[in-house]
Structure 1
Amino acid sequence: MIVFTWKKVQKLLLWLFALSVVVRISMHPTPATSKELPQASNSKPAIVLVHGAYADGTSWQHVIPLLEQDGYRVTAVQIPLTSLADDVATTKRVINNQKGSVVLVGHSYGGNVITGAAAGNPQVKALVYVNAFAPDVGEKTSDLNKRYAPPPISTAIVSDAANFLYIDRGKFHEFFAQDVSKAEARVMAATQKPIASAAFEQSVTEIAWKTIPSWFLVTQSDRAINPELQRFMAKRINAKTTEVNSSHVPFISHPKEVTKVIEAASTAVK
């Protein structure tokens, strides 16, 4: 005769309870949450984003989720801003690490970078200049800025002892991001990444926009790059051009419009 002690009965009940839980889970698996992002499509090009001066890759924080929701694989490059050559080399490494076609996007000074980084690379199918510099061979940022009236931000740039440039925090909101909330602009000012002043006096020897289709977003209320200079560059590179009434940081204040231009370039070159 088998004698059940109370301890044995407790163990048996616990075992039966655990078994019932396993059975219920296997019969009713947890559904995937509706907030999960779609997987990047192999048919879509990878998107590589290059930030400008006084910023880093988090500049694109409002654009990246929108692109990912539409199935794109997105990488934001962290360029060192120590020299144009260093920034181009860093971007080239990121491009080479992508699988398949690439749409390369640059903001502001980042336009110089993508112009050089994509040159001669058949992997890059489109260039997107987000109120960015689009230089010709041997053309410096300082040369381009001399074509039109100097932008208001020129009075807000300060230098440290190592000749790296910043935007005066007290003027950051007014001249760089006037259509962004003051709270967010304060964070941007506190986290701004300085650029070596020498980078604005350097140029690239190969030009990608001469062989790769280009798109350009002109920011009409830009106080860092003269909108007329933007229009000149967009016309010179024969870019498909869109305009938006934005400050110098449209990826913060108008992320949907920026995303739309990037996706237009992607769709056109598939």
Structure 2
Amino acid sequence: MKTSIKFSDNLRFLVFTILFIAALVGLGTHVANAQPKRIKNIVLVHGAFADGSGWKPVYDILVNKGYHVSIVQNPLTSLKADVDATNSVIDRQDGKVILVGHSWGGTVITEAGVNEKVAALVYVAAFMPDKGETTGKWVAAAPAAPEAGFTVPDQFGFVYFDPAKFYGGFAADLSQAQSDLMSASQVPIMGKCFEEPVEQVAWKNKPSYGIIATHDKALSPSTERAMYERAKAKITEIKGSHVIFISQPEEVADVIIKAANAS
């Protein structure tokens, strides 16, 4: 025996409304899932003769824009030690990472960037060596600027940026007082670091961005360009000294943000 059930008009309307809302929720979820998710994790790696505190201006900008920023403190005792320190920070992140390196930090991120969490690399007035190359090769790729100079390794093997040349050769677009403090607190690097060859090269397989500091005296802008062009990195020129991430933090942060949005 068949039973026929007749819905009232109100009940039919209620069922239709429920189904319509469910369809909209499903569509909204699909659209949300289809939206590319911006990378929120930024890891900053300092170079020789400095420490992570120099990244503060860039850090402040990125944090205020909602990014999660971590800063590596490199021991500067060997390439492996610095790569290990960087990977330790990368591994703590809860998702993909934009890895940023300044100067010697570029050599570090070239190796550490093979970490599967790294989505893209940003080189800030940085070294960008290929497999088997040393940082020292690129230090010597162009004549040294007269404003710059390193000390010879001391009895422990540490090398300093010549204090007498620090302002003109390293931080000429900062105040004299700020440069003097950086010089007095500089972190020396083991000289052997510059002779250690790179074994893994992340930029061959991951998007890379290179910032040329046009008034750099510590690392020749022409050398920066040569490395970046060889790697087919997206290049941005910014007027500033070797510590451009301190003197022009907004422009440096903009490049990092572009890398995060494009990855």
Deviation at 1:144, TM superposition (A): 1.5
Aligned counterparts of 1:127 and 1:153: Cα–Cα separation in 2: 29
Task: Tell me the residue number matched to 1:55.
Answer: 50
Aligned partner letter, 1:77: V
Q: Residues 133 and 153 from structure 1, CA distance in 2 versus in 1: closer, same or farther, beyond 3 angstroms?
A: farther
Task: Answer whether contact 1:152 1:224 (CA < 8 A) is retained.
Answer: no
Q: Does 1:252 align with 2:239?
A: no
User: Counterpart of 1:88 in 2: which secondary structure?
Assistant: helix
1:177 aligned residue: 171
Q: Find the counterpart in structure 2 of residue 38 from structure 1.
A: none
Q: How has the CA–CA distance of structure 1 residues 111 and 152 changed in structure 2, closer, same or farther, with 3 Å as cutoff?
A: farther
Gaps of 5+ in 2: 1-36
User: Which portions of structure 1, spanning 4 or more consecutive aligned residues, are displaced by more than 6 angstroms?
Assistant: none
2:83 to 85, 88, 106: 88
What is the CA–CA distance in structure 2 between the aligned matches of 1:227 and 1:215, rounded to whole Å?
15
Do the aligned residues in 2 keep the contact of 1:158 with 1:167 (CA within 8 Å)? no
Matched residue count: 227
Residues in 2 aligned to 1:106 and 1:173: alpha-carbon distance in whole angstroms = 21
2:104 match:
109
Structure 2 residue corresponding to 1:226, chosen from 220, 232, 236: 220
Shift of residue 59 of structure 1? 1.1
Instruction: Determine if contact 2:39/2:260 at 8 Å carries over to the other structure.
Output: yes
Aligned partner of 1:191: which letter?
S
Name the residue aligned to 2:60: 65
Match of 2:26 in 1: none
Structure 2 residue matching 1:218: 3-state secondary structure: strand
Q: Which residue of structure 2 lines up, in the alignment, with residue 161 of structure 1?
A: 155
Distance 2:147 2:41 in 1: 33
CA contact (8 A) 1:246 1:254 kept: yes
Residue 6 of structure 2 is matched in structure 1 by none
**Residues 1:190 and 2:184 are matched in the alignment:** yes
Question: In structure 1, what is the Cα distance between the partners aligned to 2:245 and 2:38?
Answer: 25
Does the CA contact (< 8 Å) of 2:148 and 2:169 recur in 1? no
The correspondence of residues 259-270 of structure 1 with structure 2, limited to 5 A, is 259-269=253-263
Partner of 1:210 in structure 2? 204
**Percent of aligned positions that are identical:** 46
1:206-227 deviation line (CA, Å, top 9, x unaligned): 1000001000000111000011
Q: Distance between the aligned counterparts of 1:186 and 1:154, measured in 2?
A: 15
Higher mean displacement: 160-169 or 175-184: 160-169
Q: Which residue of 2 aligns with 1:78?
A: 73
Find the residue that maps to 1:222 and give its secondary structure: coil
TM-score normalized by structure 1? 0.81
The residue matched to 1:157 in structure 2 has which SS?
Answer: coil
Which letter maps to 1:215?
Y
Partners of 1:188 and 1:158 in 2: CA distance: 19
Contact 2:151–2:162 (CA<8 Å) still a contact in 1? yes
The answer (yes or no) to whether the contact 1:165–1:196 under 8 Å persists in 2 is yes
Gaps of 5+ in 1: 1-41
Separation (CA, whole Å) in 2 of partners of 1:249 and 1:187? 14
Residue 143 (structure 1) aligned with residue 137 (structure 2): yes
Cα distance in 2 for residues equivalent to 1:180 and 1:43: 33
Do 1:156 and 1:175's aligned partners in 2 also have CA atoms closer than 8 Å?
no
Q: Which amino acid aligns with 1:202?
A: E
Distance in 2 of aligned mates of 1:66 and 1:258? 10
Cα deviation 1:54-80 (Å, max 9, x = unaligned): 000001011101000000000000010
* 8 A Cα contact 1:127 1:213, kept in partner: yes
Is the partner of 1:167 in helix, strand or coil?
A: coil
Bigger CA drift: 81-90 or 155-164? 155-164
